[in-house]
Amino acid sequence: MVAFYGPALLVAFLITLLEMTEVVVLVFALSAGERSIAHGAWGAVSGTALVAAVALGFGALLLAFPRDDLLWASAALLAGFGAFLFRSTLKTYRRARGLLPAPPGAAGEVHRAVQFAGGFSVGAVESTETVIVLIALAAAGYGLDALVGAVAAGAVLVIATALVHERIRRFKVPLLKLAATSLLFTFAVFWFGEAANYAWPEGDLVLLPLFVLALILVRAALSVALRRPLAVPAAP
């Protein structure tokens, strides 16, 4: 019987849902005013498929190394991506409060090749960010959980897009980003401890208080950052 590790599967699910939601939103924005999103969508699918194929090959090589030797690298990778995602989360909160303008959508006629190229680049970039986390999970011994979580998130997003495609541009993800950022920092701290041979009290159950603590700290950091005035570019 296959046993799954719930927290790792949840991280894979959330990060895939988050990044791929951004792909869908950007493809819809790129195809604004057009009769069909097919060209942008096919571009996004192509970019995502290319990155996934490369990640599968690299991930297979990575899994050949001993798990303990990769914990430090995995923890550092998650912490680094957590910092990157924090910046994205901050921008999302600022947009939600009207402190930043929303990303402009494309207007008027957009050439099919431009739609495809734009979709391809969006799919490649966002899926690259996704597989960074998935490979880190696989390196720590949770490859199957990462795969199942990613596939499940993809299926949920495809179904949701089909059901609410007319409102997909208004899909809000600030809370999802907050949770995903906190989860990444939680696992980074947990794996740093394991790499240092620290015996966590209560074993994996310590992830729950670590996540709550990370959630509080990330939300507090967001509150402090949101109070700071945005820098205004100097006039030329």
Q: How far apart are the first and last CA of the chain?
A: 66
- Average pLDDT of the chain to the nearest whole number: 76
Residue 107's pLDDT band (cuts 50, 70, 90): very low
Q: Which residue has the higher pLDDT, 57 or 219?
A: 219
Question: How many alpha carbons lie under 13 Å from residue 220 in its C-beta half-sphere?
Answer: 6
* Token duo for residue 227: 């109070």
Pairwise CA distance, residues 73 & 132, whole Å = 12
Q: At what angle do helices 67-96 and 207-227 cross, to 10 degrees?
A: 40
The Cα angle at residue 118 between residues 112 and 119, in degrees rounded to 5 = 90
Pairwise CA distance, residues 142 & 145, whole Å = 5
Q: 182, 15, 177, 14: which is closest to 90 by C-alpha?
A: 177
Residue 108 has pLDDT above 50, yes or no: no
Q: 59 and 142 in contact (C-beta within 8 Å)?
A: no
Q: 21, 16, 13, 46: which is closest to 165 by C-alpha?
A: 21
Helix (H, G, I), strand (E, B) or coil at 35: coil
| Maximum mean pLDDT: which of 10-24, 33-47, 121-135 | 10-24
* Token duo for residue 145: 């959980």
pLDDT tens readout for residues 21-79:
777 766 775 565 466 777 878 888 898 888 888 877 766 665 566 656 667 777 787 78
Whole-number Cα distances in Å, 108 to 24, 30, 103, 105, 128: 19, 10, 16, 10, 30
Helical H runs in the chain? 6-30, 38-62, 67-96, 112-139, 143-163, 174-195, 207-227
